[in-house]
Amino acid sequence: MNAIIFSAILGVVLMFSGIFFTNKATVRNIANVGMLLLLVANLFEQNGHHLFHINTNNLLHFTKFGLVFNSIAIGCTLVYMLLSGRDIEKVGVNVAEYFSLIFFVLCGVAIVSSFNSLLMLFLGIEIISIPLYILTGSDKRNLKSNEAALKYFLMGSFSTGIMLMGITLIYGAKASFSLEGMNPAVHHERDLWFTSGLLLLLISMSFKVSAVPFHFWTPDVYDGAPTVFTSFMATIVKAGAFIGFVRLFSNVFTESDYNWKLVLAIIIAATLFIGNITAVFQQSVKRMLAYSSIAQAGFMLFALYSANGLSQDGIILYTLGYSLATIGIFAVLIKMKDYTFEGFNGLARSQPLLAATTTVSLLSLAGIPLTIGFFAKYFMLASAIRSGGSLWLVVFAVLCAVISVYYYFRVIQAMYFKEGNPEIEPVTPAFRWILVAVAATVVILGVFPNLILQFLYF
């Protein structure tokens, strides 16, 4: 509850701070301090110190898993703001409103990580989505940004309608919005309306996390949105939607649900295949990252497929590793004048530190050992094997991970083995040190993943 209350209050404070502070740097500093306070408040609750005692009538249920994820989401947002806060100032004049919307998104993420009723899921998803529509279209003079915002809004509204229809059918079948009403241990029989409602929820949430075949909006929206906000959308927001997805269906799918598992296996295989194959043919690093985010969603879907303790550990590692690595890459990409692969030619000679940190992030996304990305993928695949999942799906996922190495290494090859004179905006020493800290965290957690997982059990 600390994260929900504090993020909502801080969002309002940031919104009104624009009236009193015209200096953009002051607003950014207020936002950074606010994010730090929000992280501390959530860590307090994670350790049993509840600052608010509010009866939610079982609409929300706070678990260690949800609170740990909140800390990861808030911590990654703090890193994102420290790295890209100056670039947010360049998008437009409404800087206070941009930071305010980021806090409101985190409020929605905290609700989604702890919902116990389908109504709260709907509320959380909408609180996440509406600020994102605005942030996507924040560069008003850019036609691509406006087009992306309209496309995102229309597709988001469409998926919201599907979600509402699904919730309605489930309520009609079970007379309850509660997650407990969807648990097969409580209700053994599933009628046609309940199954139809579940299917619609599956489709709606697949839209939100960019799973194939509901992914087609992702590359255009990610490409059209201001790059600084693409970084936020592709990491923290995507991870938040996934936690809601996992929380929703972990109560519903069981090992005996062969038909559901088959549907999920097909979605996972299609997501991995389409995401990786299309990423191979991209000429823009930004669009490549958009398609690779679809492929990464395929791996995260294993948490749904397996639905066991190992997958729970895996999704925590995956969201942290994926978010840190992608934030690190986008922080460098924002500074580049040219987003094509050729734009990275020779970066290692002119900016060796930026090239080195980008390399670490790319290796993590590819799942190379000694990075957190390796253990994230390992946990996902191991959880599928432990749950008795299909071996062909695990082998297929490994092959897709091998394909991903090709397009991630294209960037590394451009930076280290090609001649060029990349144009890059000036970066501050603080920016470099934060990038180094992000890369070091990716490596340290790649060697000692229990540093994060221990928070789930202690």
Highest mean pLDDT among 48-52, 59-63, 239-243, 358-362: 358-362
**Closest C-alpha to 63, from 76, 46, 41:** 46
Strand partners, 284: 340
**Closest C-alpha to 125, from 205, 203, 58:** 205
Query: What's the distance, CA 145 to chain centroid?
Result: 21
- Which of 77-81, 88-92, 426-430 is the least confident region? 88-92
Structure tokens at 95: 């800087």
Helix 258-280 with 391-417: angle, nearest 10 deg: 20
Say what the pLDDT of residue 458 is.
65
**Closest C-alpha to 186, from 202, 201, 174:** 174
Rounded to an integer, what distance in angstroms lies between the CA atom of residue 266 and that of residue 272? 10
- Tally of CB atoms within 10 A around 56: 15
- Which of 116-125, 217-226, 369-378 is the least confident region? 217-226
- Which of 54-68, 120-134, 372-386, 397-411 is the least confident region? 54-68
Say what the pLDDT of residue 399 is.
92
Look at residue 284 and give its three-state secondary structure.
strand
Rounded to an integer, what distance in angstroms lies between the CA atom of residue 250 and that of residue 403? 30
pLDDT of 360 over the 90 cut:
yes
| Class of residue 184 by CB neighbours under 10 A (exposed 0-12, middle 13-18, buried 19+) | middle
**Closest C-alpha to 272, from 232, 249, 244, 305:** 305
Whole-model pTM: value is 0.91
| Class of residue 170 by CB neighbours under 10 A (exposed 0-12, middle 13-18, buried 19+) | buried
Residue with tokens 């991970």: 401
Say what the pLDDT of residue 188 is.
55
Phi, psi angles (nearest 5°) of residue 60: -125, 145
Categorise residue 158: left if φ over 0, alpha if ψ from -120 to 50, beta otherwise.
alpha
Contacts of 358 (CB under 8 A, 6+ apart): 328, 329, 332, 347, 411, 412, 415
pLDDT of 71 over the 70 cut:
yes
DSSP result, 51-86: S-----TTSB---HHHHHHHHHHHHHHHHHHHHHHH
Provide the percentage of residues in the chain whose pLDDT is more than 70: 96
pLDDT tens-digit series, residues 273-320: 999 999 899 888 888 888 898 888 888 888 888 877 788 888 888 999
Residue 309's identity, in one-letter code, is: G
pLDDT band at 102 (very low <50, low <70, confident <90, very high): very high
Say what the pLDDT of residue 253 is.
64
Say what the pLDDT of residue 104 is.
93
Mean pLDDT of 65-89: 89
Structure tokens at 308: 């066991």
Say what the pLDDT of residue 186 is.
58
Give Dmax over CA atoms of the chain in angstroms.
66
**Closest C-alpha to 340, from 392, 378, 288:** 288
pLDDT tens-digit series, residues 218-234: 888 888 888 888 888 88
- Which of 134-148, 177-191, 276-290, 421-435 is the least confident region? 177-191
pLDDT band at 75 (very low <50, low <70, confident <90, very high): very high
Say what the pLDDT of residue 217 is.
82
Say what the pLDDT of residue 184 is.
60
DSSP tag of 424? B
Rounded to an integer, what distance in angstroms lies between the CA atom of residue 441 and that of residue 434? 10
pLDDT tens-digit series, residues 233-280: 888 888 888 888 888 887 666 655 667 788 888 999 999 999 999 989
Beta strand segments in 271-419, E: none
pLDDT tens-digit series, residues 331-347: 898 888 888 888 888 88
